[in-house]
Amino acid sequence: MPELPEVETIRRDLLEKLKSALLREVVVLEPKYLSKRSIKKEDLINLRGAKLKDILRRGKQLAFLLGESALIFHLGLTGSLIFKENKEFETFHSENLKHLILLLLFDNGTLLFKDLRKFGHLLLIPANSLKSHWENTLGPDALSVSKSSFEAILRRGKGQIKKFFLNQKNIAGLGNIYIDELLFRAKINPERKVESLSLDEIERLYVEMQDLLKEAIFLRGSSIRDYVDGTGTPGLFQTKHLVYGKRGRPCPICGTLLEYKNLYGRGTTFCPICQT
């Protein structure tokens, strides 16, 4: 699933291509996908003629500000948003049109929204209610949260730390990959209770989280299954993973074999010695 670094990479790619572009046409290829998410096809079609003012992100969600509306994408497990310039799109192979949900045709190119497994979400709301919508449904963004807010949220937090970070209402943006990587870097066992963390450990988590996310964005995200960026290219950060997907291999610090547990239905890899 695309997590914060992947979604931020997509946001930057698309904003570079689409800032101030004019939306000429909306083509809905999977009407059922929309109706299941309570979106009226006409409302999407009515976005025609709007200019793309900005693309904002909170956690793993992207909001396209089109005229007075905000079109919010959550890519789920397999969603992708890829921009094709007009000449590229004309020669696009029909094979690549599989699993397409939506095409947004701008004056300078086409944005394709695909979702193979259809776990993504789509929401259309007035742009002026975006801020409150996000504040009511998501915690602060993991990349932009201040150190003091982060500390306050963890101070109030309860339960096992892996579950705490999986809940997007606490801190938004981390998923299975980056939580495992973060907890390893911060030397915290995934089953530790949030209420047992010392102030030093909370500070370590904050610093490691910032470093991890920035490094991952710099390398344009992690391509595990089928993540591609806004131009259709895989990321590189998976080559820097220390524990995620490495069960049974030696810990890069102490050499002990990495352990694997299923926590809350999510595979979790960690070092039983380094992470306490």
Residues with catalytic function: 2-3, 60, 266
What is the distance between the alpha carbons of residues 39 and 37, in angstroms, rounded to a whole number?
A: 6
What is the distance between the alpha carbons of residues 171 and 153, in angstroms, rounded to a whole number?
A: 8
Cα radius of gyration rounded to whole Å, the chain: 20
| Cβ nearer to Zn ion, comparing 233 with 256 | 256
- When asked if residue 62 is in the footprint of Zn ion (CB under 5 A), the reply is no
- Classified as helix, coil or strand, 144 is coil
Question: What's the Cα-to-Cα distance from 228 to each of 3, 140, 183, 198, 236, rounded to whole Å?
Answer: 12, 25, 25, 38, 10
Q: How far is the CB of 209 from Zn ion (least distance, A)?
A: 20
- When asked if residue 171 is in the footprint of Zn ion (CB under 5 A), the reply is no
Cβ-Cβ contacts under 8 Å for 54 (sequence gap 6 or more): 15, 19, 65
- When asked if residue 188 is in the footprint of Zn ion (CB under 5 A), the reply is no
Where does this chain touch Zn ion (CB under 5 A) — which range of 52-60, 117-125, 126-134, 266-274? Answer: 266-274
- Beta-carbon neighbour count of residue 7 at 10 Å? 26
- When asked if residue 197 is in the footprint of Zn ion (CB under 5 A), the reply is no
- When asked if residue 28 is in the footprint of Zn ion (CB under 5 A), the reply is no
Whose CB is nearest to Zn ion?
251
| Cβ nearer to Zn ion, comparing 207 with 254 | 254
| Sequence-ordered alpha helix ranges (H) in the chain | 4-18, 31-35, 41-45, 86-90, 130-137, 147-156, 161-166, 176-185, 199-218
| Cβ nearer to Zn ion, comparing 103 with 257 | 257
- When asked if residue 274 is in the footprint of Zn ion (CB under 5 A), the reply is yes
- When asked if residue 186 is in the footprint of Zn ion (CB under 5 A), the reply is no
* DSSP 8-state secondary structure symbol assigned to residue 172: B
For residues 214 to 253, the per-residue mask of contacts with Zn ion, x marking binding by CB under 5 A and - elsewhere, is: -------------------------------------x-x
- When asked if residue 199 is in the footprint of Zn ion (CB under 5 A), the reply is no
| Cβ nearer to Zn ion, comparing 21 with 161 | 161
- When asked if residue 271 is in the footprint of Zn ion (CB under 5 A), the reply is yes
- When asked if residue 258 is in the footprint of Zn ion (CB under 5 A), the reply is no
- When asked if residue 254 is in the footprint of Zn ion (CB under 5 A), the reply is yes
Cβ-Cβ contacts under 8 Å for 183 (sequence gap 6 or more): 161, 162, 189, 190, 270, 275
| Cβ nearer to Zn ion, comparing 50 with 274 | 274
Question: What's the Cα-to-Cα distance from 89 to each of 112, 191, 214, 233, rounded to whole Å?
Answer: 10, 48, 32, 16
Which residue in this structure is represented by tokens 């900005």?
A: 54
Where does this chain touch Zn ion (CB under 5 A) — which range of 50-58, 59-67, 113-121, 265-273? Answer: 265-273
Angle at 73 between CA 71 and CA 76, to 5 degrees: 165
| Cβ nearer to Zn ion, comparing 100 with 273 | 273
Where does this chain touch Zn ion (CB under 5 A) — which range of 80-88, 95-103, 217-225, 267-275? Answer: 267-275
Q: How far is the CB of 25 from Zn ion (least distance, A)?
A: 54
Helices (H) and strands (E) in the chain, counts: 9, 10
Q: In the complex, which residues of this chain contact Zn ion (CB under 5 A)?
A: 251, 253-254, 256, 271, 273-274
